[in-house]
Chains A and B, each alone.
Chain A
Amino acid sequence: MQNPSNVFSEISADLEGSGEAMLPLPADLLANYSSTQLSADVKAALRQIIDLPLNTTPEDAVATFDHALAVLDGASFELAEETGRPAKFDTFDAYFKINRTHDDPGKAYIYGLLASFRNMYASLDPEGTLTVTEIPLLRIALESALEMFEF
């Protein structure tokens, strides 16, 4: 069995090179989410996430999320160069390395949520951070969010 702290170091090192997020703009999301069409592959990948045991290990969770993110194909979303909102909001996004897209807002929302959740799992310390009841609360919240889409 692999030492948990080694797993943590490997995942953490992987994260340090990325750590960006992509989200839809709220108005786009609200106007379009109800017409989001998910392919059979995406639906199957989301179902795998829902089926993960609440006490799954971070490395198993990360692998399952990585599969879903690959199926959702984040690279296919074109990033918005102009957001048309006051500059302070762009400044805030830039500090936190958040990119916006106008493409397929419902799918972009799911991608953003899964990516941030995946990175949360990957950044957990092996000795603590969240308790045995807190990670399941996050998972229940995730399921509640994903289940707004048909899959």
Chain B
Amino acid sequence: MQNTHEVAHTHLRWRVGHHLFFSWVQSLMLAFDRFQTAIDADDMISAEKELGRATNILWGISVTFKMTGDFSAAMYDSHIRPSMVEYADGFSGMWAYDHDYMIKHVMRKSKAIFENPPKELEPAMRKFKQAFTIMYDSHKFVCEQFEADAPSLLMGEEAEKTAAEMIDTFKRNRLLVLGVPSR
């Protein structure tokens, strides 16, 4: 039996977790901007520092995903998913403005350097890509707990991919934005 407090707390957890995620996305934007500025100035020491900063933020995002989804699948099915479906047709994480902006206006600027990193940035790049991959795996882990084989909200019942499979696709596409073919 789900009591009123549990329902309120689940909505709160969902909301607070997303607030923190969007703040992290803004943090990543700034770290990427500083990274690209350092690259443009041929300052590899600063570039390495900013890449390390972005990596730390990615680990924070991975933990945030877990915290955000720390409630039962029953609560998700009976309260969270319906609240999104009923809020707007096609409601989707793709409508998250900060994330959309970061991909289209910030990350793409660094594609060239990710495709051909200078030797001195290779270790920091490797750590960044590891954290980036784990971040998506963390998101997929939470998604699979709730959605299992369900289609994503955006794609609806006619979707050919499950929500978790969509996250794999996003992961592959985001890595491509950075010039990194995923394995």
Contacts and interface: CB of A to CB of B under 8 A. Distances in A.
A44 interface: no
A46 interface: no
A137 B24 contact: no
B30 A33 contact: yes
Given A120-B16, A138-B63, A141-B61, A91 B87 contact: yes
Interface stretch (B88-96, B110-118, B157-165, B167-175): B88-96
A120 B17 contact: yes
Task: Provide the main secondary structure of the chain B interface.
Answer: helix
Interface in B71-96: 83-84, 87-88, 91, 95-96
B67 A26 contact: no
A26 B12 contact: no
Q: Is the interface of A mostly helix, strand, loop or mixed?
A: helix
A30 B15 contact: no
B20 A91 contact: no
B98 to A, nearest CB: 6
Given A97-B15, A137-B63, 7 more contacts: A26-B98, A96-B22, A109-B30, A112-B23, A119-B16, A119-B19, A144-B31
20 contacts: A16-B8, A19-B16, A24-B26, A26-B101, A27-B101, A30-B29, A88-B88, A92-B91, A95-B84, A95-B91, A112-B19, A116-B23, A117-B20, A117-B23, A120-B20, A123-B13, A123-B16, A140-B56, A144-B27, A145-B31
